[in-house]
Each structure stands twice: as structure tokens, then as C-alpha cells.
Structure 1
Amino acid sequence: MIKAKARAVDGPDQSFRVAEINRRDLDLHDVLIEIKYAGICHSDIHTAHGEWGEVNYPLVPGHEIAGVVTEIGPEVTQYKVGDRVGVGCMVDSCGTCENCLEGEEQYCLKGNVPTYAGVDKYGEPTQGGYSTHIVVTEGFVVKIPDNIELDAAAPLLCAGITTYSPLVRWGAGPGKKVAVVGMGGLGHMAVKIAHAMGAEVTVLSQTLNKKEDGLQFGAAHYYATSEPDTFTQLAGTFDLIINTVSAEIDMNAYLSLLTLNGTLVNVGAPGEPLSLNVMSLISHRRSFAGSMIGGIRETQEMLDFCAKHDITPNIEVISADDIDHAYKRVLASDVKYRFVIDTSTL
């Protein structure tokens, strides 16, 4: 077994503590990665707090991982020692179902293996990127382009692909009007990527506090949803709405902003069920959809797209000692726009 330093949490109301975890010895196609940076995703917080169901504590979260290959298994062909690589929200899948064969491993019919809070094919619980090392089968590792710094690359492995995938799937591009709900870690990436794709981007946020940032990131318009005339003014406007908010909102109000055949895609994952009036869909043949991350092939495509268009997240690098405080700040929307842990501080 390989010993790794980590930060773990022992329960939904517990603080993070210093821990030592075991990483498996390398199998034939495994890659050992020395983690340099790990992003903090809202999903980490939901899981650590037990908001998405039962959790097998102790838990080491983190599925925005950037690092360097330090060892490879004897049959690894895609990577070599010294390669700059990333790991996202999953570390394995069945590899044989229809969805996996289509490169959509995130929708594996047998269930993909999440980077943390899952169980791997060896029957062991998976632990994430708030650690110094991780062992992953090579098919679930991606190459980080040379012109993207590792600290900035980390959030792309979740926030980047979570927004890139639906923008591609629903055709964001020239001539399309795209609205982004929320200007947090996911939202600011959605704005940057949609703008680079050529879409006309509008931010819908509770206030105008981040308007200057939104316009700098590529938004053409920025509206406060707390203003009573916003929904009237923008009714029937957008071809695509990406909702990044992980909280309950008035879905009917946002659906009213879609044009004929428009689609609202939820990428935020609130802990409570959402409700809507089906007439909000029927009236203009609108669609309400959801989207996860992308598959491994699409994740690499996203990284290459971001490298080509010089897109990186806005980050705040923190020490591992500051994880609990960072969680509180995320919940208070007090981050611009993604916390990234320097794992040398573990």
C-alpha cells in the first residue's frame, strides 16, 4: 500500500482533520499521481455534510485534481512519469455498457465509480483529492495542456466540464442567446466558455454585485433577478439557460425566459426536489433538462478548448488548514470564484 497525507472529515458536523490514507499498489494499467492542487467544489460540501444521502465516513473529498505522474503500471501506454495530468469526478466505470462504449462513462449503466464516497472494483472506499497522492486507472486520467497552470487547471476537472458539456450538447454558439443563472464557481466558467463558443451571453444573478466581473468574463448583459421587472423584460428571450445554482429557485419564472423550443439545463444539484408547472413547458414547446459532467473524451476536449481560448477559472489558492473556513465562505457566496487547495500544505 502507498501512504498518502490527507484531510478527512468524520461526520456531517465535524471539522477537517489531518489523516493518513492508503492508496493501492499499482495494477497493470494504473497511474500514481502526486497531487499538486485540488479544487473545492460545492459537491464536496454537500457530501461532507451528508446532504446527498448516507456517507461512509471518514471522508476525503475532492474531485478537481491536478498533479504529476510519478509512477506507472507495467502496461500503461497513455502516460509517462512527469506528465501533467488531471482527475475529475470519476475514476472508473464498467467499460462495457452502451453508454461507456459511447464515451459517456459518467452515465455508466452499472454506475461509474466516483472519485470519493464510492466503492472501487477492489471493494475499497474511494477517497478524493484532498490528499498528496492518488492511484487511478489510466483511462480515467486526462492530460493537462502545457499552457494551463496546474492550480488553475484543477477546477476545470469539474466546474469546467460540468458547464462545457451542456453548452456543447445544446448547441451554444454564434446566433444563440445563452443565459447563465448564478455567478459562482460553475457560473463564471459557463460565461467564459459560452462566450468563447460565440454565443451572446447573459448573466442572471440575485444582485448586480458581480456585474463588472461578468462583463469582463464575456457576458454581453447582466441582470439582477431580485429586480421585479427582470422576468417581464426578458420573457421569451433565450435559446438556452444553464442553471448553476444549487438551491431551490422558481423554475416556472426561469422557464418563462425561454424562447420557442428553448431548453433550461440544470447543472446545479440542490439538496431538495424542485417543482414546476408543466404548462411552463407546454406553452412554448420548452424543455427542462439536466446534465452531469462529461465523459473522459469530452473532458480532454474541454481542456484543449480552454487551452486554445486561454480560458482558466478565477481561483483563490488556500492552505489545507483553511478548508473549513473556505467551506463557510462558499456557502456565503464569498469566493471569486473557486478555492483551490495547495496540497503541499497537507
Structure 2
Amino acid sequence: MVIAKARAVNGPDKPFHAAEIERRDLDSHDVLIEIKFAGICHSDIHTARGEWGPVDYPLVPGHEIAGIVTDVGPEVTKYKVGDRVGVGCMVDSCGKCDNCHKGEEQYCHEGNVPTYAGVDKYGQPTQGGYSSHIVVTEDFVLRIPDGIELDAAAPLLCAGITTYSPLHHWNASPGKKVAVVGMGGLGHLAVKIANAMGAEVTVLSQSLKKKEDGLRFGAAHYYATSEPETFEELAGSFDLIVNTVSAKIDMDAYLSLLKLDGALVNVGAPAEPLSLNVFNLISQRRTFAGSMIGGIRETQQMLDFCAEHNIVPEIEIISAEQIDEAYERVLASDVRYRFVIDTSTL
């Protein structure tokens, strides 16, 4: 058993504090990872503050994990000590259902085991990456390509795959017009990835204050959604819209921007229900869909794609003492574009 240093929170309105957590002894196919960096995802904030339902506190969030293998179980074949690896939003699944057999473990019929705020097959609560070590079965560990530094790799394990998966599934490619709603931690990676896939990318953001960044990341166009003429000018323009924001927006306004057979895909998860007028779907055979991270196979594909195309997130490294401040800055959209915790500061 490994005693890991961590940062935990004891309630929805409590600050983070130093803690120690137990990591299980290695089972036959387990990998022990010394965590070097952990990204801060908006999902961490929603969960830590109890906004997505009851939470079993104390909680150690974090599902954007990059580190080094320090030990392996006796039957591990995929990794060895010293390998550069990552862990994303899930650490297990049933492995038996149709979706798991298809490599879509995120949609496991029995429910995947989340990296934190879940219960593993041993009946123990899972705790995440705001910690010094983690034990994960080898099938849910990702290999980080040599071309990506560990600090930059961490946000790819959630923000990267969350945007790559819908772009890949709905075939963002040369000749396709793709819009990205929001230019935050998810949105800026969606722009980079869609551009690398060959699509013509447009950013739809509340204001133009990040326009220079958006164009630098690969967007061909950048519009402010706070300006009513934007929706008039862009009506019927896009094959695919990826909505990355976690706030309630006017879905009908965005559906009107789709071409015939266009798709609006939600990856942001606002706490409030969304509504829409079905006539905005049936009038142009449009699709309103959702997408949740990606399977392990697709996540590895994403990492390799990002290494090949030199795609990395824009990050700000923080210490463990700055987590509470970082949460407030995320909520105030005061980060460009992802906070990453240096776990050596735990």
C-alpha cells in the first residue's frame, strides 16, 4: 500500500487542504504512477462543489493526470517502470458489454468507474489526480508520446479527448465548416484539433477579446455571439458545431447556424436543463447530440495525433496552494487556457 500526498476538499463550500490517502496494493494488472502534473477541469469544480449531485467527502478531484510508472503488477505487459503515462476521466469499466467491446468504455452499460467520486471494483471510493500517486489497471493507462511534455499532456487527458472525439466522430475534415462555441480550456483545443484535421474553423465567443488567440490557434473566422447580427450573417453556415460551454445558452439560435444535415454537439455540461424548438431540427434534418470524452483506444489515438501535429494546450502551472484561487479564476474566465498543478508542491 502507498500513502499518497494529496489535496482534498471536505464539503461544497470548503477550501482545499493537505491530506494523505491510501492507494491499494498492486493487483496483477495494476500500474503505480507517480503523478507529476494534474490539470484542473471545470468538472472538478462542479463535483467538488456538489453541483452534479451528492458527493462522498473528503474528495480528491483530478482526471487530467500525467506522470511516470514507478511499479507494475506481475502480469502487466503494456508498461514498465520509467514509462511516461497518463490517466483520464475513467479508471475501469465492466469490460463485457457491447460498448466496452467496441472500445467505447466511456459509455459502459454498467457505468464506467470515474477517476474520482466513484467506487471501484474493490468497493473503495476513487480519488483523483490532485495527489502524488495513483494505482490504475493497465488497460486504462495511456502512453504519452515523447513529443509532448508531461505538463502539457495532462489537459489532453480530458479537454483534449473531449473535443477530439466529436470532431473525429462527425468527420471534421477538409471541406467541412466547423464552429466552436466558447474559447476556454476545451474550446481552444477544439480549434487547434479541428484545424489540424483540415476543417475551416470559426470561433463563436461572447466577445472578441480572445480573437487574436483564436486566429493564432487556427481559426479562420471569429465572431462575437453578443452581437445579434452574428446569427443573421452565419445562418445555415456550418456542418458541425461543437459547444464547449458549461452554461445555458439559446440552443435554437445555434441550431439555426447549421446547414442541411448539420450537427450541434454538446460537450459542455451545464447544471440546468436545455430546451429547444423541435422545428429547428426537422426543418433542415439537423442533429442535436452529445459526446462524452472518448474510449481508451481513441484517447491514445488523440495523443498520437496531437504529437504528430504539435498540438498542446496553453497552460499555466500552479502550486497546490493555489487550487482554491484557480477555481475562482476558472469561474471568472481568468485563465488562458488551462491550469495545471505541479504535484511536487503537494
Please tell me the TM-score bracket, short chain as reference: over 0.9
Return the letter of the residue paired with 2:288. F
- Structure 2 length as normaliser, TM-score? 1.00
Report how far residue 228 of structure 1 moved. Answer: 1.4
Report how far residue 94 of structure 1 moved. Answer: 0.4
Residue 210 in structure 1 maps to residue 199 in structure 2: no
1:144-167 deviation line (CA, Å, top 9, x unaligned): 000100000000000000000000
Q: How does 1:87-166 map to 2 (within 5 A)?
A: 87-166=87-166
Return the letter of the residue paired with 1:79. Y
Return the letter of the residue paired with 2:200. E
1:212-250 deviation line (CA, Å, top 9, x unaligned): 000000000000000110000000000000000000000
Percent identity over paired residues: 82
C-alpha separation in 2, matches of 1:94 and 1:132: 27
C-alpha separation in 1, matches of 2:15 and 2:271: 21
C-alpha separation in 1, matches of 2:228 and 2:163: 28
Match of 2:85 in 1: 85
1:92-147 deviation line (CA, Å, top 9, x unaligned): 00001100000000000000000000000000000000000000000000000001
Report how far residue 2 of structure 1 moved. Answer: 1.0
C-alpha separation in 2, matches of 1:41 and 1:280: 32
C-alpha separation in 1, matches of 2:70 and 2:241: 41
Residue 274 in structure 1 maps to residue 246 in structure 2: no
Match of 1:262 in 2: 262
C-alpha separation in 2, matches of 1:220 and 1:283: 28
Residue 238 in structure 1 maps to residue 238 in structure 2: yes
Residue 60 in structure 1 maps to residue 40 in structure 2: no
Give the 3-state SS of the residue equivalent to 1:11 in structure 2. coil
C-alpha separation in 2, matches of 1:258 and 1:151: 36
Give the 3-state SS of the residue equivalent to 1:161 in structure 2. helix
Unaligned runs of 5+ in 2: none
Residue 223 in structure 1 maps to residue 229 in structure 2: no
C-alpha separation in 2, matches of 1:163 and 1:322: 27
Match of 1:51 in 2: 51
Report how far residue 283 of structure 1 moved. Answer: 1.0
Return the letter of the residue paired with 1:160. G
Give the 3-state SS of the residue equivalent to 1:289 in structure 2. strand
Match of 2:295 in 1: 295
Return the letter of the residue paired with 2:260. L
Give the 3-state SS of the residue equivalent to 1:187 in structure 2. helix
Report how far residue 196 of structure 1 moved. Answer: 0.1
Match of 2:335 in 1: 335
Matched residue count: 346
C-alpha separation in 2, matches of 1:280 and 1:38: 40
Return the letter of the residue paired with 1:33. I
Q: How does 1:12-31 map to 2 (within 5 A)?
A: 12-31=12-31
Return the letter of the residue paired with 1:334. D
1:287-308 deviation line (CA, Å, top 9, x unaligned): 0000001000000000000000
Give the 3-state SS of the residue equivalent to 2:130 in structure 1. coil
Return the letter of the residue paired with 1:288. F
Return the letter of the residue paired with 1:286. R
C-alpha separation in 1, matches of 2:189 and 2:173: 15
C-alpha separation in 2, matches of 1:130 and 1:149: 18
Return the letter of the residue paired with 1:30. D
Runs of 4+ with deviation above 3 angstroms: none
Return the letter of the residue paired with 1:234. L
Give the 3-state SS of the residue equivalent to 1:70 in structure 2. strand
C-alpha separation in 2, matches of 1:97 and 1:248: 33
